[in-house]
Each structure stands twice: as structure tokens, then as C-alpha cells.
Chains A and B, each alone.
Chain A
Amino acid sequence: MTAQMFFIGFFGLAAVWFGVVVFRTFSMVRSALALLFSQTALGALFLTMQAEFLGVLQIMMMATEMSIMAIFMVMFMMDPGGLGEMEMTHQKRLSLGTGIVSFLAAVAVAVFVDWGPVANAAPGAAQQTVDLGLELLGRSMLIFETAGITILTAMIAATAVSINKPLDSGIRRNDGKGKASKRPANDEH
């Protein structure tokens, strides 16, 4: 029990610390990866609280998401490498206020809500996965799963349709007649 408490504290502090690091660096990529490790620490926190499925899921999802976020930030921001000491904080007064208010709200919810009797033991990991599925989806399981697969298929189809067939030279453009025309890359002038 003490080991569990220790690790809960450790990963909790790690999550907060990496969250702080996000705003302390001057580099986009460092900031994105600090956010990733903050989320990973949260996943580890779930694991120490014996919520195995949630923990592993959190750890798995965040890595890809944050990496993709990093590539987008580098693509769209000026000074991605942080060589010019880019500031990571924006709208300081508003965000400070929002941060304090939401922190107080979260603490209030944690303290004042009646959570019911304290559980002495967690159910087995496999049982948890089943319970979680039933809790989230209930008897609408089939509908949700069908909808999920449909949305996924639609997303993949949209992406696949929007990829032009790669060419060996030149840029492919759509000439408006539903047929892409092949032109040399430097035909701007």
C-alpha cells in the first residue's frame, strides 16, 4: 500500500512538472514532447491505481497524438526550433484566471462530492475492461460500435480519395474537369 501511495505521488508530481515544462521551454518540439510525457505520467498514474486498461490506453493514444501535434506545430509556426526564444504563454491574465478557477473547481468537486463508500479492492483487470465497456456504452453497444466503424471508414475513405497518385516528376493539379493534369513543377512563369 505504501509503495502504491509513493508511486501515485511520484507520477502525479511528474505529470504536474512536465505540465510546467510545457510553458517553460522556448521550443515547439520540446513543448509538445513535455506535454506527451505529462500525459504519459497520467497514464502511469492510472496504472498505479490498478486501472490497467485506462492506463495503457492513455499511454498508447498520447504518443501518436503528440508526435503528430509536434509535426503540425513545426509546419505552421514561425521559429519551430526555438532559436529565437519563442514565448509559449499567451493571454497571460486570462489564462491565469481560468487556470486558478478551474483548479479550484476541480478541488471542490474532489472534496465535496459524495463518492460513496471507499472501495477496498479493485476488480480484476479483465473484469475492469468488461465493466468499462458496459458502463460507457450499455445496451447501445452495437449501435456505438457500428457508428464508430462507419466514422472510421468514412475518415479513411476521405483521406484515400484526397491523396493524388504520386507522380515521378512535376506537380499534379486539378484542372477542374475531374481529371488531373500533369505539368512540370516550374510552370509558374
Chain B
Amino acid sequence: MMKKLLLITALGLSFAFAGSVAPADNAQYQKECASCHFGYQPALLSKASWEKVMGNLSDHFGTDASLGKVESEQILSYLVSNAGSGKITANNSTMQITKSPYFIKEHRKIPAKFIEQKEVNSIANCLACHTTADKGNYSERAIVIPNYGRWE
């Protein structure tokens, strides 16, 4: 019985995403990481990816995001213990959420001009279009593209 439950839970997790992830609710992560960019939820990357990210913060996508040893270890621990294992992280061992095959598939129909406009600036700027991204909700219904409106 217990085994079956575990199996079901594991299956459920491996297919998980369906437009929503647990919000990034760690105050230290919010302060140190989300002061510069959107607070990507830990479930959007795998444990291996977060280890890579946190392993070289002094050259973080071309900028210096270095932290003290203690803060760095605490944040890594939060990220890996909440890392993703589902659809969104499948076949992505890079440091970028936007390199996940699932992410690419979901964004393939978006015209470049939507991304390139100054209100968005980068495909990594989740909150620019996903109005409830900070709550971990990426559902299509909550998409509003700046200067263009709803995504239908």
C-alpha cells in the first residue's frame, strides 16, 4: 500500500508542472537573488543545475553576483531541497530555465518582437508576461503581453 502510494507520488512528480510551481518563499533567496532578477522558483531547475549556478556566482551570466560562503551555502541548500524533477527540468542540465526543451516548446510560437520590446527585454523576464509568475502560477489565462494584451 505504502509502496504504491510512493510510486503514484513519484509518477505525479515526474509529470508535474501544469503551469504551477511552489512559490519561492525563502526570505534569504528573495533578498540575495531576487533583488536583481525575477525570483525563479527552485522547482524550475534540477538539483544539478542549481549546484552549477551556485558554484560560480562571481561570473553569473556575465555579472558578479558573489555572496559570502555562509549565505551561499544556505541558499544552495534551499534551492536543492526544493529543486524540480518534473517535465520542466527534463533533459536540462544547463544553468538556464530557458534551455529546457519543455520551456522552449511552450514558448516556440511567441514572436521575437514580443520579447525584444523594452518592457520585456529577455525571455527570462517571466513576470513581464506571466502576471502571476511570482505566485508560481504560469497558466495561460494569466498571460498579458505588454503592448499586445492577452495571449489567446
Q: A and B: partners?
A: no
Binding site for B on A (CB under 8 A): none
